[in-house]
A and B are shown apart, each in its own frame.
Chain A
Amino acid sequence: MWLVFTKEIKELLRDRKTLFFMVALPLLLFPLIFGSVAYFSGKVIKEAQEKTLNYALIGAQYAPEFAAKMAARDDLLLIETTVTRADEAGIKALVTEQTVDFVLVVPENFSNDIITAGQLTLSLYLNDAGLNNAQRRVYEVIDDIAIVNQADAFARLGVSEEIQVGLLDPILIEKISTADKREDLGEKIGGLVPYLVFILCLQGAMLPATDIGAGEKERGTLETLLISPIPRNQLVLGKFFTIAFAGVTSAMITVGSLFVWGVVMSQGMAIKLLTEFMGAISALDFVLMFLMLIPVVAIFSAVLLSLSIYAKSFKEAQGYMTPLVFVVIVPIIIAMLPGIKLEGIYAWIPLTNVALAIKELIKGTMDYVALVPIFLSTTFIAGVLIAFCTYWFKQEKVLFR
């Protein structure tokens, strides 16, 4: 068995295409893609924040103080217009034709005296579909005026500061979370870890699986191998372990690469939080996560090898394997849904239960005893699939299709 395994690994490591997908792609390309996305999206957001917005103000004469504060801002530029408040189509045209970024219409009854004027409504016309900071900038000006006007009204009404606070926010809710940082962050990103690792394991195992099964047929080496004096189950296990090794290695390289590059590229922004989070996960939890991953990889490898050995060619094998990704994604997506917990039926859905268990381990809320039936049931399924793979490898109708 190890003879077959070492030979397959040797071939695997000499295959530039496999090495590219297993090592180079996760080490360089993924960080490059994610880094580029982060860089360009950051650049776009920054440009939007710094861009000077053109605006038109209709009814400025009713709110001279407000108009003056708007005009005083460096990031806003007033564009004079002859459009009146009655001409709504004209106002909208100013925005749609990009004469201005937004139009603000001040009501005729605008007053700083809240007691007499009551609540006022200003109309803000803007294209709200894209990135814009118009609303935020207008609120910053209005808030300044509103706070002063509120304070003035309360003073005239003789309301003390304590009662003012009560009037503005009659009831407050003080949220005291019992979840520590690990549980909180684990709930948010814990579901993503098994998703990423499962898919990467599967993807990493696909190429070698295709080569090891269908490739033997296509090259014409299978027949010679079948008549070598080693039992068929050892032959299968040698190939099976190669696929599993490739899957786990690929996933570990990818996750490790993303982690390292993520820390490097964040330039210290999230390191403390990340370090605290990672530090809170014990070595035992990491070991348990890896142990849970073993039968999952075994399931993937057995299924991939069975499909590959059934196929007559690389092309046919890839045709069978591609839909498998979607089959795997569904149970993992279930585990990512909010509110889904490791209990009831979810504890018995293969892959979903392991994904949920890994999430619980990350959160630090795992009942370790519950891991035993999950591990055993997943191992049982993997064992059945490996047995099927061995049976499959003995079928003439499969080998000599």
Chain B
Amino acid sequence: MIEISQLAKKFKVENPKKLSEQEKKDPRLKGRFFHSVQNVNFSCDKGQVLGLLGPNGAGKTTTLRMLSTALQPDGGSIKINGVDVLQDPILARKSIGFLSGSTGLYGRLTGRENIAYFGKLHGMTDQQITQKIDELSAVLELDTFLERRSENFSTGMKQRISIARAVVHDPAVVILDEPTTGLDIMATQTVIEFIKTLKAQNTPVIFSTHHLDEVKELCDTVTVISEGTTKYNGDLASFESLAPGSLHQSFITSIS
């Protein structure tokens, strides 16, 4: 289970003169600091899929980065299966599977080597890694390019290897930052099916997205963030009821 409470993060503005007029008007800009995330709260239980929504610049990626321990919060708390991420980040990382917004791979390593490297970083044995890659290869359909160097992979191939890399160590929670962005229909479907598989395995999944059809298909709960604060928190049915018949309208209603 993931519990996030009163999460906050601010960044120092190195050169305020370089800010655009629109950025200068953002209410989160206070003095020399930009309060990217000010008060974000949500939780995700086992077997749940939480959709994190919000306009561009709302603070979704910053929130997910704090959740993954890449960034350190300035306030609030994050607990993953009872482990305080701030108190013991190394232990917390062992239970997190994180896919960042960029589908970056080591181009001179094969797909298998990319996955195996992160398995080893998580302390897995060669045998465990081989077995897990075989499993993931079947679910994510990796077998045709698994042994090839990843430098010439398509975006879809990269994303599937990235997902396999993120979950190779059987994490207790999975965090995906816009996992279907830039993918074609087939690759998107593979990712959606994989999230369903995770859900079936009782793994809590948090993913940010701009695609509301994915939210409808996958999510149990929805959290909407705007200007760094939680605007909506609740189950999918309640979210849909904000503007029946249109999830787009529900989203707009939630942030207005």
Report which A residues bind B (CB closer than 8 A).
3, 7, 10-11, 14-15, 216, 219-231, 396-397, 399-400
Contact = CB atoms under 8 A, between A and B. Distances in A.
Given A15-B108, A229-B90, A230-B90, 9 more contacts: A223-B70, A223-B98, A223-B100, A224-B99, A224-B165, A225-B121, A228-B93, A229-B121, A400-B65
A11 B71 contact: no
B98 A227 contact: yes
B70 A230 contact: no
Contact of B70 (A15, A216, A227, A231): A227
A285 to B, nearest CB: 39
Interface in B97-120: 98-109, 113, 117-118, 120
Contacts of A14: 108-109, 149
Contacts of A225: 121
B72 interface: yes
Contact of B96 (A227, A231, A399): A227
A224 B98 contact: yes
Nearest to B169: A229
13 contacts: A220-B102, A222-B104, A223-B68, A223-B70, A224-B118, A229-B122, A229-B123, A230-B121, A231-B90, A396-B71, A397-B11, A397-B14, A399-B70
B104 A227 contact: no
Q: Max chain A CB contacts within 10 Å: which of B103, B106, B123, B165?
A: B106
Contacts of A219: 102, 104-107
Interface residues of B, number: 37
A228 B124 CA distance: 12
B108 A228 contact: no
Contacts of A396: 71-72
B211 interface: no
Nearest to A4: B121
A98 B69 CA distance: 80
Given A227-B70, A229-B122, A397-B12, A220 B104 contact: yes
B166 interface: yes
B8 to A, nearest CB: 14
A3 B72 contact: no
A214 to B, nearest CB: 13
Nearest to A225: B121
Nearest to B95: A229
Nearest to B107: A219
A226 B100 CA distance: 11
Contact of A11 (B68, B98, B109, B122): B109
Interface string B62-102: 00010011111000000000000000001101101011111
